[in-house]
Amino acid sequence: MKRILTIQDISCLGKCSITIALPIISAMGVETVILPTAVLSTHTMFDNFTVKDLTDQLVPITEHWKSQGVKFDAIYTGYLGSEEEIEIAKKIFEEFGGDDTLIFIDPVMADNGKLYPAFDMKYAKLNAGLCGKADIIVPNVTEACFMTDTEYREEYDEAYVLGLLDKLSKLGAKKVVLTGISLAEGKTGVYGIDTVTGEKIIYQNDKVEASYHGTGDIFASVAVGAIVQGIPLNDAFKIAADYTAETIKVTIENPKQPWYGVDFETTIPKLVDTLKTYK
Instruction: Considering only residues 143 through 202, tell me which ones interact with ligand PXL, judged by CB under 6 A.
Output: none
Single out the residue of 5, 6, 7, 11 in contact with ligand PXL (rule: CB under 6 A): 11
Nearer to ligand PXL (CB atom), residue 79 or residue 203: 79
Distance from chain centroid for Cα 163: 21
Among candidates 248, 267, 159, 155, which has minimal Cα distance to 206?
A: 248
Site string for ligand PXL, 65-84 (x = CB under 6 A): --------------x-----
Residue 44 makes contact with ligand PXL by CB under 6 A: yes
**In this chain, which of 24, 25, 45, 134 binds ligand PXL, going by CB under 6 A?**
45
* Near ligand PXL in 232-251, by CB under 6 A: none
Q: Give the residues across from 98 on adjacent strands.
A: 101
Cβ-based neighbour number of residue 273 at 10 Å? 9
Q: Which of 6, 17, 195, 244 binds ligand PXL (CB under 6 A)?
A: 17
Name the nearest CA neighbour of 202 among 215, 214, 188. Answer: 188
Shortest distance, position 245 Cβ to ligand PXL, whole Å:
17
Buried b (16+ CB within 10 A) or exposed e, 223-232: bbbbbbbebe
The H-assigned helical ranges of the chain are: 18-27, 55-67, 83-96, 121-131, 141-148, 158-169, 215-227, 233-252, 264-276
Q: Which of 36, 107, 139, 214 binds ligand PXL (CB under 6 A)?
A: 214
Stretch of 27-35, 37-45, 160-168, 221-229 lying at the interface with ligand PXL (CB under 6 A)? 37-45
Strand, coil or helix: 17: coil
Task: Give the binding site for ligand PXL (CB under 6 A).
Answer: 9, 11, 16-17, 40, 43-45, 79, 108, 116, 214, 216-217
